Structure 1
Amino acid sequence: MSKIPVVFTFDKRIIPASAIAIKSLIDRAKSETEYDIFVFHPDVSEKIIREFEKMLSGSRHHITFTKVAKDRFKSAPKSRGSWQEVVYYRILIPELLPQYDKVIYSDVDVLFKDDLSEVYATDLDGFEWGGVAAEVNSANAVGHKYFPENTHEQIFWSGFMLLNTRYMRENGFIDRCFEVIRKVGERLKFFDLDTINIASHGIRELPLRYVALQSLFRYAEFAGMPEYIHLKNLYSDAELSAAKADPAIVHYAGKPGKPWHLKHPPADYRKYMDELPQGLRKYTFRDLRKKLFNKF
């Protein structure tokens, strides 16, 4: 049995999506894969935690919830909407999981389509983490903000990360992230992404199929994708087609919005919404309002 640690970070505002992500993760696990799932959160109730534990009961997988003090990131920039302190929690993974030398992190606005044992086996020797390239890193960047402090050739998404946590602990990754927040904080736009890209040492590139954007599946021609303007400089249309044909993770970033905010979500995601245990269908007023005014 192969045990793979996977971390999610979320708060009480995004319970249904988080449950769907976790359920799809374990549904796609191979028979020899065992997921050790960790949730870092600021405010998930014991009642909701029990609902998650119930969802995994009877499986070979395990889930652990760890509350993180909000003041860990009191000096970090954040917004009133989705970009609150929880987006920074992934930075703490090397500290909070000292028992593991390699860990997977994933955002929760995703649907897993494949087992993660292959990507978990990626050799990270000499690299701090592995991620999917989002854009060429230059002053002409259009989808992300350019920082002269970022010395990497590419800007990497932080929504799926394969972390070399042993390397991170040995080389002061967390301290470097807090130093970036202190020095660059007022200029950060995509808070966690910008911080981690600037702070990191070597980053190993992973296949695009681990961040298969939803727009890949919504446009007949790739050129119609909002992200194509920067993706075309990294990926050929053949590579985009390959990610579309065999996605490991569909990531619901960008237009037309999160699937739980759509009147007509994708059929595969809708199936999970319909099968979600009642105790985990905790949609917020903001969710309902966004769905009401969404034209899709």
Structure 2
Amino acid sequence: MVENRPFLNVLAHFVLIVGVALVAFPVYIALIASTHGPYDFMQGIIPLLPGDQAVHNYSTMLSAGMSTSGAPPLETMMFNSLVMALSIALGKIAISIISAFAIVYFRFPGRSLAFWAIFITLMLPVEVRIVPTFKVVADLGMLDSYAGLSIPLIASATATFLFRQVFLTIPDELMEAARIDGAGPMKFFKDILIPLSRTNMAALFVILFIYGWNQYLWPLIVTTKPDYYTVVAGIKRMADVADAEPQWNYIMTTAVLAMLPPVLVVIFMQRLFVKGLVETEK
């Protein structure tokens, strides 16, 4: 039984408040910076109070005439990020759930070896294999394309492992009952396994969407045409200006707008996300 000690309650709330403040402070700085003009940052001092240029900054970044910001139109970058994030999230879920289905429900030589070979790839992130991956993508002519942005990042050992754990919790009697009723492997997969995995798929979708949306290094390498810039890579290119001062008001405005889609995904899918992470019994 946990004792109700006022001091421990105060300490716990203090630690939580400090943690939230540390996480939220950079977001607050970006939000405040997006309300100031370009000359408010010349002295190297970051303002801590809102300015009076918020309407001008946001209207400029949301309009078509954005040549002064040093980046392509914001809607183009946001659309590219959306395509990339959705392709990665849906592709990872589709490939991982099929891989886990094959590993759990099919008996073939080397089944365990196949699973552990997939699992070991967790130790090889894209940053480690970026040179050979870039060479393959370049040889296939996929630079400056949505396929080049998404396909190399689709395979996921983590999602395969999670779906495998979900399938292992499903009773074997359910599979035997489906077999007695005449259901083949694909019908069992489509009519039973997928419905039972919907909450887990939703939780993974949130994680993988944010993972794809926040990709920085890979889009920066495989895109050279502004038409395929993602919003994260676009922010980097906006900050790297030659013979001029970066327009931090536009950069921070873009950063704030870039945070909105992942935040909206988390908000609208919060219940499914939490349920998919904590649900253990089927």
- Shorter-normalised TM range: under 0.3
- Which of these two proteins has the greater Rg computed from alpha carbons? 2
Structure whose residues are more often helix by fraction: 2
TM-score normalised by structure 2 residue count: 0.24
TM-score normalised by structure 1 residue count: 0.23
